[in-house]
Structure 1
Amino acid sequence: MPGSQDYSLEDKEKNVTPSEPDVYEVEAAEGTPDRVIAKRYGALGPLLSKLFASGVEARGVERVPEDQREVKNIWNNLLMWWSVNMVLTTIPVGVLGQAAFSLTLPHAIATIFCFGALGGVATAFIATLGPITGLRTMIITRFSSGYVGGTIYSILNILTQLGFSVTAVILGGQTLANINPGTLPLVVGIIIIGVCCLIPCFIGYNVVHIYERYAWMVTLLIMLFLWGLGGKAGFDINAQKPLEDTGRALSADVMSFGGIVFGSFTGWAPVAADYNCRLPANTPPMRVFVLTFFGLWLPISFVVTLGAALMTITDPVYVQAYADGSTGGLIGQVLSPWGRGGRFILFLLAFSVIGNNIPNTYSAGLSMQALGRPFALIPRFFWTFLAFVIYTVAGVAGRDHFSAILSNFLSILSYWTAFFIVIVAEEHFIFRRKNGPLGGYNLDDYDSPSRLPLGVAGILAGCFGVAGAVVGMSEAWYTGPLGKMAGGAIYGADLGFELAAGFAAVTYPPLRWLEIRLTGR
């Protein structure tokens, strides 16, 4: 179906033919989504109107029209990702380099920088689609994988954001509990962190951006303190040398840790467009790409490397602190020379996870709306609250298994985000390019199943991606045949995300071409 690469209102009127009404079709007549949603709920309408008038965001997954975009400083895009990633939650990723794979610090740093750059490029591309389409990320997937495929991706993203949230509240709760050991139960700490994450997400988009615009300033200073205090305690770059593997086993460790690093970057890809869909449609994509890339790569690499460096401290007191209290215990020990000042910094660091968990909570609610029209009819803030309840309860239940949850979660996360990114990218650059088979996006089709692709090509390519992940993965509970071959008879190399992306990249173009030939969309 031909589309328009120019996203002006005039061109859309020329290119878009009538289709079945979408959930928000009356918005154009009534002006804003708050009036549409309030009227939808009858007797509850006045209450919702007051809620929206107080500042709670009404808009959910519906498209933001060009004439309702906000002209903001695009540098906020860089600052937001700095705040999201310059946090306590990022440190344990680096800790896993030594704790799980016994890599020396130089090998861990090389892995972090290289795999991080790859993940940063992938996520930054997805971010560029926000201003182009005015849509949330999970809705954009409908243009490559259809309505059903978009629903499948939404389910995966809900699990992803809830998984991130669980690790965030556990780590924040651990850190609060370690400020004065024995005085604050871990369960209470987890609940406190969860509630603090909920408040800005419940209110919505503008408050999320305001918070993230400034939060990085405090956390950057704290990270510099940790670097200095850790160095004073004594970094030993060869601390893991006697334990590090060699040969193919070392390669397997690097690939497996690299998959975790890649997942920590691409974990943001399924939400990357959510936070700039209100930028003007003529915002230069390259500018969005560059700011998003450096907003991810610089802070994540900086903080993940800090986590790896802290694990090289060989002082028995620090080693025991990690054994007793995981990452939170180790950081508490690093700050202990400063006494009460260190405890205050630990307090601030515990609450830094709010900045990291805000996009998880906010986008989990949006992904719940993206499951389909019946879900989109329910206000966004309800789904945000439900997400908070789920991950807080899960955090309390899994509070004693943080490292295992983090390691397995990030590895598996990288599998599906890899083929998701590949499919969306191939759709954009091959089939939706200006002179391509479809010529662009008919953006008003986002909620019209009969005008979206059937999704057979996207779903099948995703299935091939899953097959690639299965044969290449290496987890504690399963190692695929190719992963085992790459790592040797004893050690497996986690090639899951590479093969997932490769299988999807090879199969999607011919399948999509055939789908277009048969259906015209």
Structure 2
Amino acid sequence: MTSTHDDSVSFPEDKEKGGINDGVQVVNDVEADPDRAIIQRFGVFGPYLSQLFASGVEARGVERVPENQRETKNAWNNLLMWWSVNTVLTTIPVGVLGQFVFTLSFGNAVATIICFGALGAAATAFIATLGPITGLRTMVITRFSSGYFGGTIYSVLNILTQLGFSVTAVILGGQTLANINPGTLPLVVGIIIIGVCCLIPCFIGYNMVHVYERYAWMATFVIMLMLYGLGGKAGYDIPAQKANEDTGKALTADILSFGGIVFGSVTGWSPVAADYNCRLPSSTPPRRVFLLTFFGLWIPICFVEILGALLVTITDPAYVAAFGSDGSTGGLVAQVLSPWGGFGKFILVLLALSVIANNIPNTYSAGLSMQALGRPFALVPRFFWTFLAFVIYTVAGVAGREHFAAILSNFLSILSYWTAFFIVIVAEEHFIFRRKGGVLGGYNLDHYDTPSKLPLGVAGILAGCFGVAGAVVGMAEVWYIGPIGKMAGTAYGADLGFELAAAFAAVTYPPLRALEIRLTGR
């Protein structure tokens, strides 16, 4: 990109203006000065909000960041943020599932992690490029393909996604804290401690999130290297799982099903990927954003998930007992660090706290997605929704604390379904209809909060429904196996849910959208 702005984007004037309707005037007021607009909105509570914002709490929510208010931060922060988010304890259990749930050998588990991880990272990195281009949060960007109502549907799905991620994060962090000195710290207390620590930077906002994520990876990367070494000392038995591995069609089904989980563990970040670079200048090259996001996701995810796959090969009875029949990754990691005594427990504390870096984007973006449900929700300050998200996932984590492996396996599989067709629809809108020389010729960013100027959303919603249909016929879960999923596998089926969800949406969206534009002009 050599021009100041992306050629596919129509930039509005970055100043307050009226004339369309009262809603647009409100939006532009908040864009120009979010602190003042929100303070005026809440009347008697205004002075309290004024003090809150003056102390550093972010006022801006889902409103677009005008070009003249963009920051000049280096795009390399994107790589460091995603590196911190994924070099954490929470990523280890995904690698564990390859052998624990799908009986794959170590070699096949690693190959699946690398290939499906790269696919998911590429898809997520594309979504990240839209942040600087538009200055909008991810869920608001969906309005340009699926309309205002369709964007609301995606926001609901994303709220559930981020809350689901958060539940798994606080449970695992709480498990690990509880295993430092078994019997002294209840699991419930551990979960609450992790939840509160995640809330603090998210409550403050965008700048604090980036400050924390810029440095959090340093300690955890060293700790992961320690775990690799200590696990090797305990004795990796690489061929141990080979005898239990399926063959033929059943093996293919296991790889596809585990691949869907790996894909979901990466694309789970796609509905929030633009949230953390929407303040970069629009002149930031999309290729740079793509590559930094891709490697910031793919390298640490492979590095840590492969560690999980290695740790579960340890056959020492003490390690097997620590892991247990319920798949306690926290217990296994505690056992790995046990030879170091007190220092190992200190490392375990740091590792438990590493999930904070992973859960910060979930918490922060869940609040933004609640605002993106519609204008009435956007009128409520961002920090309130962030606090509500914290309460919900902490309570859910306490309730589901004894079923971590089942929650993780089923949640990540289902997650990959909707993120697959979401990415496809946004990508086709961007590259087909919004490209320079395309039917629409770009994005008019003035219209992001004006339903009458946005697409009706019929094409996006219908394509999403076709994506759901693809997921249903291709999925293979414990509680349901779709007809195609059943044909592709054996008794347990092969999970083709995300592949078919993406394919069904990819085929149906372009003609539906072309017809919608022809009939409505938008």
Aligned to 1:367: 369
Aligned to 2:297: 296
SS at match of 1:201: helix
Aligned to 2:48: 47
Aligned to 2:3: none
User: Is contact 2:176-2:352 (8 Å) kept?
Assistant: yes
Q: What is the one-letter code of the residue matched to 1:40?
A: R
Instruction: Classify 1:260/1:49 alpha carbon distance in 2 versus 1 (closer, same or farther; 3 Å).
Output: same
Q: What is the one-letter code of the residue matched to 1:416?
A: W
Aligned to 2:464: 462
Instruction: Classify 1:519/1:18 alpha carbon distance in 2 versus 1 (closer, same or farther; 3 Å).
Output: farther
Q: Distance in 2 between matches of 1:20 and 1:253?
A: 55
User: Is contact 2:11-2:445 (8 Å) kept?
Assistant: no
User: Is contact 2:128-2:277 (8 Å) kept?
Assistant: yes
Q: Which runs of 4+ in 1 moved over 4 A?
A: 6-10, 26-30
Aligned to 1:411: 413
SS at match of 2:461: helix
Taking the TM superposition and a 5 Å limit, the aligned residue runs for 1:91-130 are: 91-130=92-131
Aligned to 2:8: 5
Q: Distance in 1 between matches of 2:45 and 2:19?
A: 32
User: Is contact 1:4-1:442 (8 Å) kept?
Assistant: no
CA RMSD of aligned residues (A): 1.6
Q: Deviations over 1:391-443 (max 9, x none)?
A: 00000000000000000000000000000000000000000001000000001
Taking the TM superposition and a 5 Å limit, the aligned residue runs for 1:184-195 are: 184-195=185-196
Q: Distance in 1 between matches of 2:422 and 2:18?
A: 29
Q: Distance in 1 between matches of 2:18 and 2:357?
A: 42
Taking the TM superposition and a 5 Å limit, the aligned residue runs for 1:117-516 are: 117-323=118-324, 326-488=328-490, 490-516=491-517
Q: Deviations over 1:466-521 (max 9, x none)?
A: 00000000000000000000003x13000000000000000000000000000000
User: Is contact 1:24-1:33 (8 Å) kept?
Assistant: no
Q: Which runs of 5+ in 2 are unaligned?
A: 1-5
Q: Offset at 1:5?
A: 2.4
Q: Distance in 1 between matches of 2:138 and 2:464?
A: 17
Instruction: Classify 1:520/1:23 alpha carbon distance in 2 versus 1 (closer, same or farther; 3 Å).
Output: closer
Instruction: Classify 1:455/1:30 alpha carbon distance in 2 versus 1 (closer, same or farther; 3 Å).
Output: closer
User: Is contact 2:481-2:492 (8 Å) kept?
Assistant: no
Q: Distance in 1 between matches of 2:338 and 2:31?
A: 58
Q: Offset at 1:48?
A: 0.4
Instruction: Classify 1:47/1:23 alpha carbon distance in 2 versus 1 (closer, same or farther; 3 Å).
Output: farther
Q: Which runs of 5+ in 1 are unaligned?
A: none
Instruction: Classify 1:484/1:52 alpha carbon distance in 2 versus 1 (closer, same or farther; 3 Å).
Output: same
Q: Offset at 1:237?
A: 1.4
Q: Offset at 1:372?
A: 0.3
Q: Distance in 2 between matches of 1:29 and 1:248?
A: 57
Q: Offset at 1:31?
A: 3.8
Q: Offset at 1:19?
A: 3.1
Q: TM-score if structure 1 supplies the norm length?
A: 0.97
Q: Distance in 2 between matches of 1:17 and 1:516?
A: 27
Q: Distance in 2 between matches of 1:149 and 1:30?
A: 23
Q: Deviations over 1:16-38 (max 9, x none)?
A: 99533436636459941000000
Instruction: Classify 1:429/1:17 alpha carbon distance in 2 versus 1 (closer, same or farther; 3 Å).
Output: farther
Instruction: Classify 1:454/1:26 alpha carbon distance in 2 versus 1 (closer, same or farther; 3 Å).
Output: closer
Q: Offset at 1:73?
A: 1.4
SS at match of 1:135: coil
Q: Offset at 1:236?
A: 1.5
User: Is contact 1:233-1:334 (8 Å) kept?
Assistant: yes
Q: Deviations over 1:284-307 (max 9, x none)?
A: 000000000000000001000000
Q: Distance in 2 between matches of 1:492 and 1:162?
A: 28
Q: Percent identity?
A: 80
Q: Distance in 1 between matches of 2:171 and 2:448?
A: 37
Q: Deviations over 1:288-329 (max 9, x none)?
A: 000000000000010000001101011111111100771000
Q: Distance in 2 between matches of 1:19 and 1:501?
A: 37
Instruction: Classify 1:497/1:17 alpha carbon distance in 2 versus 1 (closer, same or farther; 3 Å).
Output: farther
Instruction: Classify 1:23/1:7 alpha carbon distance in 2 versus 1 (closer, same or farther; 3 Å).
Output: closer
Aligned to 2:84: 83
Q: Distance in 2 between matches of 1:381 and 1:428?
A: 31
Q: What is the one-letter code of the residue matched to 1:22?
A: G
User: Is contact 2:434-2:441 (8 Å) kept?
Assistant: yes
Q: What is the one-letter code of the residue matched to 1:142?
A: R
Q: Offset at 1:445?
A: 0.3
Q: Offset at 1:145?
A: 0.2
User: Is contact 2:67-2:135 (8 Å) kept?
Assistant: yes
User: Is contact 2:191-2:394 (8 Å) kept?
Assistant: yes
Bigger mean CA offset, 325-334 vs 290-299:
325-334
Instruction: Classify 1:48/1:313 alpha carbon distance in 2 versus 1 (closer, same or farther; 3 Å).
Output: same
Q: What is the one-letter code of the residue matched to 2:179?
A: N
Q: Deviations over 1:142-168 (max 9, x none)?
A: 000000000000000000000000000
Q: What is the one-letter code of the residue matched to 1:415?
A: Y
SS at match of 1:242: helix
Q: Distance in 1 between matches of 2:19 and 2:141?
A: 20
Instruction: Classify 1:425/1:26 alpha carbon distance in 2 versus 1 (closer, same or farther; 3 Å).
Output: closer
